[in-house]
């Protein structure tokens, strides 16, 4: 059997069956992984439910200390975890190392928070307090693009608030989560944290389970709608961090030499497989050609290779399904626009596609209107900034967006009107555990991170006392 184990009720156990995990850089089997069953998912939920009363009554200082220990242990195994993350996810080792480092920092930041009792009134007739109580069992459904970091968006907040957790990793990137499970088994009491893998067949079971009080899901908007529908049967609390089609608006007067590297980095980090990545760039006609040329030069200079190889800047797509999807978008790019860099599928094993810049394309193309989630960036020419803003806001998604330009007042004016959860000015993909993160429109419900995100794992409980 595999040396990877599920974590259920404090025990590391085999799955009911096994499944293969593929290295996206080689298309070879990386590991044999345990695959959980409905019965095992039910055991995990029951264990979390049984552990909840004692865990929720523990002093917050004790819960905090355990989370800080978790951060210490992750950092101590940074090199091992980063390599494993690159092998199963594909991202360059430098990005994987950063993800592990940031994960430790996010755990520490969320663990340091404390939702204090708020006193609304305290007079001669009554005292009114607002408490924040834990919900119970939280189901955390993790995607494949940032399998460690996005776990730390959810689990530390759930635990510090007094909830217990059942984690369901993505089936193509379960290995780092299971290694974290080994660490967690040594730190937390049995049942407080559980990890059960699947082949995308247990998500509905977890979401509909009557003993699960909340689902925290990160993934596509289509799946998020299914999660929301399934949660309705018991009116579960839900947090949905879904897809995005982030627009970058480059204003007239912007310096192409300054703007292009920022846009390129914001579009192609993790091979473009970032919910908050720039998915379309609107560039003013006065500087359009210069920005396109500079983006093309950056794309041509990118080193596309295995994430374990020194100097690699862009790794493979994470899985074959996404790889085939991006190949289809390349055909759309050839039909609807002009490919000025990239556009090629690497002729070798692995899900490699060179970063692609597409010019002379408009909003009627699927490449602009849809979330491609890969290394293909359409660059759209515009004449009027207000028109560019209108076109950016026309999307059904509203996760993030950015405005680039030397006129800070105009950039701020545009940013304030972007229908997004986050709007950056002269940067993109800048976030942190102390900054609330959430989407507008079909990009999600609720907020993660910061005190606002912590509050999502709690129930408002008002004490209204006669004096």
Domain count, the chain: 2
Domain extent, residue 351, equals: 246-432
DSSP per-residue codes, 173-192 = S-HHHHHHHHHHHTTSPTTS
**Is there a single domain that holds both residue 213 and residue 341?**
no
Q: Model confidence over 291-312: pLDDT tens digits?
A: 999 999 999 999 999 999 999 9
Q: What is the mean pLDDT of residues 228-241?
A: 95
CA 348 to chain centre: 29
Distances (CA, A) of 392 to 280, 367, 402, 458: 9, 14, 10, 34
pLDDT-based confidence at 402, cuts 50/70/90?
very high
Q: Are residues 394 and 280 in the same domain?
A: yes
Q: Determine contact, residues 160/111, Cβ cutoff 8 Å.
A: yes
How does 139-154 read in b/e, with b if 16+ C-beta sit within 10 Å? bbbbbbbbbbbbbbbb
**Token digits of residue 81:** 């975890």
Residue 85 pLDDT grade (very low, low, confident, very high; cuts 50, 70, 90): very high
Residue 241 designated active-site: yes
Whether 1 shows a pLDDT value over 60: the answer reads no
437 is a domain residue: no
311 with 406, same domain: the answer is: yes
The SS3 of residue 96 is helix
**55 and 156 co-located in one domain:** yes
Do the beta carbons of residue 432 and residue 153 sit within 8 Å? Answer: no
* Whether residues 14 and 29 fall in one domain: yes
**In this structure, what token pair is assigned to residue 456?**
């999502």
Same domain, 404 and 448: no
1 part of a folded domain = no
Q: Which two tokens stand for residue 167?
A: 């984690």
Q: Is residue 419 domain-resident?
A: yes
Where do runs of H (alpha helix) occur along 127-255?
A: 149-160, 175-185, 203-208, 221-231
> pLDDT digit string (tens) for 52-74?
999 999 999 999 999 999 999 99
Active site (annotated) includes residue 33? no
Burial of 59 (0-12, 13-18, 19+ CB in 10 A): exposed
CATH code at position 324: 3.40.309.10
174 domain-assigned: yes
CB atoms within 10 A of CB 126: 12
Residue 22 lies inside a defined structural domain of this protein = yes
- The length of the chain in residues reads 467
Can you give the pLDDT at residue 346?
A: 81
Residues 259 and 405 in one domain: yes
Per-residue pLDDT for 83 more than 80?
A: yes
Residue 189, domain CATH = 3.40.605.10
Quote the pLDDT of residue 344: 87
Whether residue 187 is found in the same domain as residue 260: no
Q: Cα separation of 451 and 352, whole Å? A: 39
DSSP 434-451: TS-B--EETTEES-BSHH
Q: Which of 241, 371, 448, 456 is catalytic?
A: 241
Q: Closest Cα to residue 394, out of 336, 442, 436?
A: 442
Residue 388 lies in a domain: yes
pLDDT for 2 equals 65
For residue 438, is it within any domain?
no
Query: What tokens does 256 get?
Result: 């192409």
Q: What are the structure tokens assigned to 21, written together?
A: 């995990």
- Round the average pLDDT of the chain to a whole number and report it: 97
**Which pLDDT value is given to residue 347?**
87
Is the domain of 412 the same as that of 461? no
Angstrom CA distances, 334 to 280, 285, 331, 341, 355, stand at 16, 22, 5, 12, 14
Instruction: Encode pLDDT of 149-202 as tens digits.
Output: 999 999 999 999 999 999 999 999 999 999 999 999 999 999 999 999 999 999
Mean pLDDT of 16-34: 98
Look-up: residue for tokens 């893998």? Answer: 197
Which residue reads 């951060």 in tokens? Answer: 71
304 - beta bridge partners?
314
Candidate list 95, 275, 371, 448, residue with the active-site label = 275
How does residue 50 score in pLDDT terms, banded at 50, 70 and 90? Answer: very high
Consecutive H or E run containing 464 = strand 458-466
Query: 57 lies in a domain?
Result: yes
Q: What is the pLDDT of residue 299?
A: 98
């Amino acid at each position: 059997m595999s040396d990877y184990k599920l974590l259920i009720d404090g025990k590391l156990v085999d799955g009911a069956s096994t499944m293969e995990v593929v290295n996206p850089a080689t298309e070879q089997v990386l590991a044999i992984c345990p695959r959980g069953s409905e019965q095992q998912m039910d055991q995990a939920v029951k264990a979390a439910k049984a552990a909840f009363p004692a865990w929720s009554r523990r002093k917050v200082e004790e819960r905090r200390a355990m989370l800080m220990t978790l951060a210490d242990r992750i950092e101590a195994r940074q090199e091992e975890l980063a390599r494993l993350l690159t092998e199963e996810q594909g991202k360059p080792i430098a990005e994987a190392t950063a993800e592990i480092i940031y994960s430790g920092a996010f755990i520490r930041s969320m663990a340091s928070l404390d939702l204090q009792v708020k006193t609304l009134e305290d007079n001669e007739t009554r005292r009114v307090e607002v408490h924040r109580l834990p919900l119970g069992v939280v189901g955390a459904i993790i995607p494949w693009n940032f399998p460690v970091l996005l776990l730390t968006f959810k689990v530390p907040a759930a635990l510090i608030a007094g909830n217990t957790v059942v984690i369901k990793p993505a089936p193509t990137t379960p290995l780092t989560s299971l290694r974290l499970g080994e660490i967690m088994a040594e730190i937390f009491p049995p049942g407080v944290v559980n990890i059960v893998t699947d082949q995308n067949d247990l998500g509905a079971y977890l979401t509909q389970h009557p003993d699960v009080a909340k689902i925290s899901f990160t993934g596509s908007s289509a799946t998020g709608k299914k999660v929301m529908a399934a949660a309705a049967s018991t009116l579960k609390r839900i947090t949905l961090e879904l897809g995005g089609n982030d627009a970058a608006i480059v204003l007239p007067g912007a310096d192409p030499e300054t703007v292009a590297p920022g846009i390129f980095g914001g579009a192609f980090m993790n091979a473009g497989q970032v919910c908050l990545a720039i998915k379309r760039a609107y560039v003013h006609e006065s500087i359009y050609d210069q920005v396109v040329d500079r983006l093309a030069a950056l794309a041509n200079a990118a080193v596309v290779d295995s994430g374990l190889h020194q100097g690699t800047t862009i790794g493979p797509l994470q899985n074959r399904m996404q790889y085939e999807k991006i190949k289809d978008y390349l055909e759309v790019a050839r039909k609807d626009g002009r490919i000025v860099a990239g556009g090629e599928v690497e002729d070798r094993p692995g899900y490699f596609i060179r970063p692609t810049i597409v010019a002379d394309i408009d909003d009627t193309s699927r490449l602009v209107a849809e979330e491609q989630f890969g290394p293909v960036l359409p660059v759209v020419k515009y004449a009027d900034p207000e028109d560019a803003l209108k076109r950016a806001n026309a999307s059904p998604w509203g996760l993030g967006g950015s405005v680039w330009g030397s006129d800070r007042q105009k950039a701020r004016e545009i940013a304030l009107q972007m229908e997004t959860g986050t709007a950056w000015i002269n940067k993109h993909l800048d976030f942190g555990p102390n900054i609330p993160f959430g989407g507008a429109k079909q990009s999600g419900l609720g907020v993660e991170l910061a005190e606002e995100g912590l509050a999502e794992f709690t129930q408002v409980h008002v004490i209204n006392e006669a004096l």
